[in-house]
């Protein structure tokens, strides 16, 4: 069911709000008149510039998604947040032919997968049955097809994709909009070192994400490359696997 979301009537909690995609979404929500954003960051001082720019509508929140105590405290403080944006993530490389596949999987899973579960489970009681209830989680186009050069990261993002579907299924009789965000390559610290790939701007992604949430969209492909992948994946998922398999 399509649930349109009123940004102006929402209060959001976002993880990893201090830089990159999380910062861009935070700013877009504030620029569109959201009541308040609880901006989660591991280091509160990294939110100083945002706080100075937006004043009282931006509430800095200490949040490390790998730490249950930090998550529980954050959710307690942000108890009026009806929109959760699971954005925080890491990209550890590593594949079968490198020595650090297990190490890479552990780190990717700890932040990208277990972090999303921790925060979502903790925040859900604050969100369910509230107006404009939303849980949006950042996966990636590489969660839909594996790029071997970042095998362990892709594996974690595929798990995130499945978790989004599972959460949507569990909540299908509730009022919560459960959205998955599937970006292509975006110009952030995470994408430093991506060579020969065109990067879209986080600000463009943020505009498209917030518009899509307003429209109640479940599957959000918010940038130039992901819009192309959406077309291919929609008709021939195997083709996405083939396209990405050449990135070694």
Residues 6+ apart with CB under 8 A from 56: none
Query: Which member of 60, 89, 152, 180 binds ligand NAP (CB under 6 A)?
Result: 89
Spatial contact of 107 and 90, defined as CB atoms under 8 Å apart: yes
- Asked if 22 is part of the footprint of ligand NAP (rule: CB under 6 A), the reply reads yes
How far is residue 8 from each of residues 123, 176, 245, measured CA to CA in Å?
Answer: 20, 17, 42
Is there binding between residue 108 and ligand NAP (CB under 6 A)? no
CB of 90 to ligand NAP, least distance (A): 5
d(CA 19, CA 72): 22
Near ligand NAP in 109-128, by CB under 6 A: 111, 115
Pairing of strands 58-62, 36-41: parallel
Pick the stretch among 52-60, 88-96, 163-171, 214-222 that binds ligand NAP (CB under 6 A): 88-96
Candidates 62-70, 92-100, 211-219, 229-237; binding stretch for ligand NAP (CB under 6 A) = 62-70
- Binding ligand NAP (rule: CB under 6 A), the pick from 74, 124, 186, 212 is 186
CB of 126 to ligand NAP, least distance (A): 18
Candidate segments 75-83, 127-135, 169-177, 189-197, binder of ligand NAP by CB under 6 A = 189-197
Q: How far apart are CA 162 and CA 169, in angstroms?
A: 11
**Is 146 within 8 Å of 244 (Cβ atoms)?**
yes
User: 133: which residues sit within 8 A by CB, 6+ positions away?
Assistant: 3, 82, 83, 127, 174, 175, 176, 177
Among 66, 68, 100, 165, binds ligand NAP (CB under 6 A): 66
Q: Is residue 146 part of the contact set for ligand NAP (CB under 6 A)?
A: no
Stated length of the chain: 248
Summarize as ranges the residues that interact with ligand NAP (CB under 6 A). Answer: 15-16, 18-22, 41-43, 46, 63-66, 87-91, 111, 115, 138, 140, 183, 185-186, 188-191
């Amino acid at each position: 069911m399509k649930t349109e979301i009123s940004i102006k009537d929402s209060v959001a909690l976002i993880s990893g709000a201090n830089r990159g995609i999380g910062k861009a979404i935070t700013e877009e929500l504030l620029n569109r008149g959201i009541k308040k954003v609880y901006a989660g960051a591991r280091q509160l001082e990294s939110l100083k510039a945002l706080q100075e720019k937006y004043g009282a509508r931006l509430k800095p929140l200490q949040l490390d998604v790998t730490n249950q105590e930090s998550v529980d405290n954050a959710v307690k403080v942000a108890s009026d947040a009806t929109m959760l944006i699971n954005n925080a993530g890491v990209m550890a490389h590593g594949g079968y032919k490198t020595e650090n596949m297990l190490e890479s999987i552990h780190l990717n899973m700890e932040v990208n997968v277990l972090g999303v579960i921790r925060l979502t489970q903790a925040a859900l009681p604050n969100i369910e049955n509230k107006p404009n209830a939303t849980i949006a989680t950042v996966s990636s186009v590489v969660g839909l097809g594996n790029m071997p050069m970042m095998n362990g990261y892709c594996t974690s993002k595929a798990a995130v994709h499945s978790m989004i579907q599972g959460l949507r299924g569990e909540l299908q009789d509730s009022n919560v909009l459960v959205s998955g965000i599937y970006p292509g390559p975006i110009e952030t610290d995470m994408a430093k070192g991506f060579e020969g790939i065109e990067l879209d701007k986080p600000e463009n992604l943020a505009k498209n994400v917030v518009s899509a949430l307003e429209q109640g969209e479940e599957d959000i492909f918010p940038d130039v490359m992901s819009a192309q992948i959406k077309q291919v994946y929609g008709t021939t998922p195997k083709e996405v696997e083939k396209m990405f398999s050449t990135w070694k």
